[in-house]
Amino acid sequence: MEYFLQLFFSGLSRGSVYALIALGYTMVYGIIELINFAHGEIYMIGAFTGLIVAGVLTSLGWPVLSILAVGIIVSVLYSAAYGYTVEKIAYKPLRNAPRLAPLISAIGMSILLQNYIMLAQTPDFLPFPRLIPDFAFMAPYQSFLDTGDLFIISTSLVVMVALTLFIKFTRMGKAMRATAQNRKMAMLVGVNVDQVISMTFIIGSGLAAVGGVLIAAHVGQINFYIGFIAGLKAFTAAVLGGIGSIPGAVLGGLVLGWTESFATGYVSSDYEDVFAFCLLILILIFRPAGLLGKQRAQKV
């Protein structure tokens, strides 16, 4: 039972991080129907910014929790700025181009960012400082739920609730929903679509950065390549839940997290990534609209 609970919670924390990244994919896809391949790289840049901030603040002798807080805030801001810039450079000029064009430029952007970090920082794995301390009150549950997992789960929950409230109740959130439903109509009723798209990239990138710093602090090491696999898995989560749907992305992330956690715990750990990709292919074949997505007829 304890082993089961341990897998359950590690799957939950893993799934929450997938969900955080998947939200970015799903929001962007909902609005401009583009798979933002560079999204995983934004997450990786978030983790690197967190590492740099943590390194500098540690040398100044700050307390651990405040380093974590500042690290998350700075990397969210930076990642959001990256997301905004990536959209302006690689996607905006291609708004009216054939579908394949932004997809290819997204792949180009992903390769560019990966190599930029590799050249500017390091090609090797860097140990990430331990920023999540062991709380005393957690001691009785330590055997199946460690503090890192708890921290990730609760932070993600707060962020997701905040996002839901933002989308539901703010003016910008309303504009986003309108644009996702029908971009042309939204434009006609006076929604500044360019602004909405920029905002979507900013929010999505910020969420990915939260995930990046949390997972890096939990796992304890990063390198320039982590964004690629994480991005692919988060995309799987988004598709699993139904791309374009925000609750779907969260559900998809959790399902994927649990699948991986239980599969590696009970079956084999060698094929950890294969499970995710097989899941992706199976969903796309049998239920392309995902768990919560609506089956829509293709417009002609």
Binding positions for other proteins, rule: CB under 8 A:
33-35, 45, 48-49, 51-56, 59, 74, 78, 81-82, 85, 89-90, 93-94, 97-105, 107-117, 119-122, 126-129, 228, 232, 235-236, 239, 270-271, 273-274, 277-278, 280-281, 284-285, 288, 298, 300
Q: At closest approach, how far in Å is the CB of 251 from other proteins?
A: 19
Q: At closest approach, how far in Å is the CB of 72 from other proteins?
A: 14
b/e per residue 124-153 (b: at least 16 CB within 10 A): eebebbebbeeeeeeeeeeebbbbbbbbbb
Comparison of 12 and 263: residue with beta carbon closer to other proteins: 263
Comparison of 115 and 182: residue with beta carbon closer to other proteins: 115
Beta strand ranges found along 24-95 (DSSP E) = none
Q: At closest approach, how far in Å is the CB of 34 from other proteins?
A: 7
Cα distance between residue 263 and residue 69, in whole Å? 33
Closest alpha carbon to 244 in 38, 22, 86, 88:
22
Comparison of 9 and 128: residue with beta carbon closer to other proteins: 128
Q: At closest approach, how far in Å is the CB of 300 from other proteins?
A: 6
Comparison of 51 and 254: residue with beta carbon closer to other proteins: 51
Cα distance between residue 50 and residue 55, in whole Å? 8
Comparison of 160 and 238: residue with beta carbon closer to other proteins: 238
Q: At closest approach, how far in Å is the CB of 5 from other proteins?
A: 28
Q: At closest approach, how far in Å is the CB of 235 from other proteins?
A: 6
Q: At closest approach, how far in Å is the CB of 213 from other proteins?
A: 13
Token readout for 54 is: 């943590």
Q: What is the DSSP string of 10-79?
A: HHHHHHHHHHHHHHHHHHHHHHH----TTHHHHHHHHHHHHHHHHHHHHHTT--HHHHHHHHHHHHHHHH
Token readout for 155 is: 């932070």
Q: What is the DSSP letter of 137?
A: G
Cα distance between residue 20 and residue 160, in whole Å? 8
Comparison of 150 and 289: residue with beta carbon closer to other proteins: 289
Beta bridge mates, 222: 126
End-to-end alpha carbon distance in the chain: 53
Comparison of 145 and 238: residue with beta carbon closer to other proteins: 238
